[in-house]
Amino acid sequence: MKIAVVQFAPSFGEKEKNLAAVERLLDDVRADLVILPELFASGYLFLSAEELAGLAEPIPGPVTERLTALARKNNFWIVAGVAESVCGKRSIYNSAVLVGPQGGPSVYRKAHLFGREKKLFEPGDTPFAVHDIGSARIGILVCFDHLFPEAARTLALKGAQVICHPANLVLPGLGREVARIRAVENRIFFATANRFGVERRGGVEIGFTGESQIVNPKGEVLVRAPARGAAVHIVEIDPAEADDKQITAENDIFGDRRTDLYEL
């Protein structure tokens, strides 16, 4: 199968502009699975809960409907980060949606909130789920989730071959190395779609690190984007490689687990 990670710099609050940019980037892409950054349609640097509420939307909603149409047109699956409002609740989630030619939307809500997100979003309440998209079994983590090994391990134990990772990473160098570790310790593919650029609003400035990448179960980087620049990077993989958990002839990464000693 072919996996594509999309790296670009969303314009804050301009959902139509950001959707159009993604549609242009993906116009000629031939892939089975496409991953977009965290909060790709809205931007990241919300100055208040009220501002966030004005840009969040339900799932399904206008953004996911556009993504679904794009998935059907190009016959691929899309994982994308969105700000999700829930009818009848005041809570807003930093979510990722999965849509495809015949399926979705499925929703994962970011479990581990980073920094000022804790003042804006509700912590996720969805389980770490694995989705069979035909060409692979995939799991989803959003940005800071990657720093918690239990999250990736849960997905791997449930059978995920690929972890899709929409991100707005801000800590230079950390994200790319954590992804390699998660791939090796679980023997899975790890695909990060990160944004780049700087958002400056209300006297606050946040810079994003780019370097979107796809890593194989041996921790080898199959492709890595530059720190800056919009692009779509595509890699062909064999998801079945992630079903082999052997490290040596005598060692299986899951078979050797000592659940009798762990206290997690």
Is residue 143 part of the annotated active site? The answer reads yes
Residue 109 bridge partners (DSSP): 95
Is residue 110 part of the annotated active site? The answer reads yes
22's CB contacts (< 8 A; 6+ apart) are 6, 8, 36, 40, 70
Do residues 124 and 95 lie in contact, with contact meaning Cβ atoms separated by under 8 Å? yes
3-state secondary structure of 155: helix
Rounded to an integer, what distance in angstroms lies between the CA atom of residue 111 and that of residue 148? 10
261's CB contacts (< 8 A; 6+ apart) are none
> Given 84, 143, 164, 199, which residue is catalytic?
143
Helix (H) or strand (E) holding 109: strand 106-109
> Given 38, 117, 199, 211, which residue is catalytic?
38
Joined tokens for residue 74: 């190009």
247's CB contacts (< 8 A; 6+ apart) are 187, 253
Q: Which of 182, 247, 254 lies closest to 221, judged by CA?
A: 182
> Given 57, 110, 199, 211, which residue is catalytic?
110
Do residues 166 and 36 lie in contact, with contact meaning Cβ atoms separated by under 8 Å? yes
Q: Where in the sequence numbering do the catalytic residues fall?
A: 38, 110, 143
